[in-house]
A and B are shown apart, each in its own frame.
Chain A
Amino acid sequence: MRVLAWRLVLLAAGLVAWELASDRLLPAFYISRPSAIAGRLVQAFASGAIVPHLATTLVEMVVGFSIGLPLGIAVGLLLGTFRFSARVFQPFIILLYSIPLLALAPLFILWFGVGWAPKIVLVAISVFFFVFFNTYVGARELDQDLVASLRVMGANWGEVFRKVTLPASVVWIFTGVKIAAPYALAGAVVGEMLVSRSGLGLLLMQATQMNDMAALYAVLLVIMVLGILASEAAERSERLVLRRQGRTAGG
């Protein structure tokens, strides 16, 4: 409770300082002011003007996750289980991993147009890579003592996979999802900033072009909240799944 109280005090102090500094220490043109930003936010939501843009970004995120997640899990488990293929693919994976994903945005826009598709691909690729990589490493480093003791009990490789690898992979998968969440959001927003007809990234660009600082900060705030919600959703679903498995997080 005391920690929370101090945090609120700190936040309030920061906002007041920002409000007072505006046009006194620094021109409001650059830093805007909290009251103006709050006003913009209320207006954006009250008029519903922001809703289609928010929906666009959300849909891109959700669809991108639904494509990237299962693919990442499948390829991660596959390469992590079959050592030989993992060794064959290793250099190619590192090659692809070395490209900053956002640098692929122009390419995807050329390939997939200006609509939702390139953003969905950017989200999906971010999710895919982090989930794939974590699942792959997890499956590769599966406790060999555990595997050996089940093998001696008569388990064949299929049973080891079903009864050990698969249930154990939950932790690795969620680690990947949690790391991927901010990158996925960045993928969607940057994609929209480059070229699009709708989305929070587009709003950012419009605000910048019109020198509308209050709107710019307001949209940033919305993106921030979206990022927190995405991480929180990943965190909560992990705890839920682990509890259903009888485990506590980290256990």
Chain B
Amino acid sequence: MAEPAIVLRDVTQVFPGRGAAREVIALEGVSLAVAAQEFVALVGPSGCGKSTVLNLVAGLWPPTRGEVRCTGRPVTGVNTRVGYMTQKDTLLPWRTTLANVGIALELKTRRATGWDRDRISRYIELVGLEGFEHHYPSQLSGGMRRRVALARTLIYEPETLLMDEPFGALDAQLKLVMQAELLRIWGETRNTVVFVTHDLGEAIALADRVVIFTGRPGQVKAVQPVDLPRPRDVFSIRFTPRYAELYEKLWGLLQTEVTKGESL
């Protein structure tokens, strides 16, 4: 049997204290497997180490203990087999949409002029930004900037997408629109997705499986498959009885973690 796309085996992450700051145990004994082409959402209270999971898979630093594997190989050093979309805006303000999406190819091919214009146009179209190729980030709305970031993440066709609250900064309506877009695009590209969010509704609407994390130190509390049929409509899915059932069950698990953190 093929190995899952992403494997975390008994991973513990400790951030050493510096000066007055105390040592922080971000993750403790986390084991997790994500199958190829699976969409998994990680949900948990703030500071539970969800983002740390993504950073470890991206290979930004090694875990204190345990093993992280991605597409059959251990992660040692920066993992360029993944696409990473962070919550913060990481577009380059001095580059147009075209050049911001193109930078991914520029870095892959190591040639500034090696741009494949057709390919860039195809991905700009995929995220619905035709006509904004020559706009700078400061001329785009928040939702449009997210679309640019998404196109930039997708264009080099990483097998695995890491998304850290990618729509967290958007307003509620726009968030729904972007979720629908993500599902539509994912239907075409079928990457493996690890999606971090603190929005339980978002997790259920998008994912095949929802992983609930405990408060600090982050541990896997529960894993819930989401058996809602695809393709899903993120707008109307919220009114189906199965969605409500799942929401209630998972909220019950999550609530104790959130309130535990609050009472500290």
Q: Which residues of A contact B (CB under 8 A)?
A: 143, 145-146, 148-155, 159, 163-164, 167, 245-248, 251
Contacts and interface: CB of A to CB of B under 8 A. Distances in A.
Interface of B: 55, 58-60, 78-80, 82-86, 88, 90, 92-96, 103-104, 106-108, 136, 138, 152, 156
A154 B95 CA distance: 18
B79 A150 contact: no
A145 B82 CA distance: 15
Contacts of B78: 151-152
A128 B139 CA distance: 34
A141 to B, nearest CB: 14
B112 to A, nearest CB: 9
Contacts of A246: 93-96, 136, 138
Contact of A163 (B60, B88, B103): B103
B80 A143 contact: no
A7 B94 CA distance: 38
Contacts of A164: 92
28 contacts: A143-B90, A148-B55, A148-B86, A149-B84, A151-B78, A152-B58, A152-B59, A152-B80, A152-B84, A153-B80, A153-B83, A153-B104, A153-B107, A154-B107, A154-B108, A155-B107, A159-B107, A163-B92, A163-B103, A164-B92, A167-B92, A245-B93, A245-B94, A246-B95, A246-B96, A247-B94, A247-B136, A248-B138
A153 B95 CA distance: 16
B13 to A, nearest CB: 16
B106 to A, nearest CB: 8
A143 B87 CA distance: 13
A150 B103 contact: yes
Given A146-B90, A246-B96, A154 B80 contact: yes
Closest 6 CB pairs of A and B: A245-B94, A246-B136, A146-B90, A149-B90, A152-B84, A154-B80
Nearest to B83: A152
For A146, A149, A163, which residue has the most chain B Cβ atoms within 10 angstroms? A149
Given A150-B103, A153-B80, A145 B138 contact: no
Contacts of A245: 93-94
A153 B156 contact: yes
Contacts, number: 65
A146 B152 CA distance: 13
By secondary structure, the A interface counts as helix
Nearest to B79: A152
By secondary structure, the B interface counts as loop
Contacts of B82: 152
A143 B90 CA distance: 8
Contacts of A251: 93, 138
A227 B25 CA distance: 54
A245 B136 CA distance: 9
For B82, B96, B104, B156, which residue has the most chain A Cβ atoms within 10 angstroms? B104
Contact of B103 (A152, A153, A248): A153
For A153, A245, A247, A248, which residue has the most chain B Cβ atoms within 10 angstroms? A153
Contacts of B136: 246-247
A106 B152 CA distance: 57
Contact of A145 (B88, B93, B152): B88
Contacts of A153: 80, 83, 103-104, 107-108, 152, 156
Contacts of B138: 246-248, 251
A146 B93 CA distance: 11
Contacts of A148: 55, 58, 60, 84, 86
Nearest to A162: B112
A150 B80 CA distance: 10
Contacts of A145: 86, 88, 90
A79 to B, nearest CB: 21
B124 to A, nearest CB: 17
A149 B86 contact: yes
A211 to B, nearest CB: 56
Contacts of A167: 92, 94
Contacts of A143: 88, 90
A247 B108 CA distance: 26
A38 B106 CA distance: 61
A153 B78 CA distance: 9
B157 to A, nearest CB: 12
A150 B138 CA distance: 20
Nearest to A147: B90
A4 to B, nearest CB: 29
Contacts of A155: 107
Contacts of B85: 149
Nearest to B84: A152
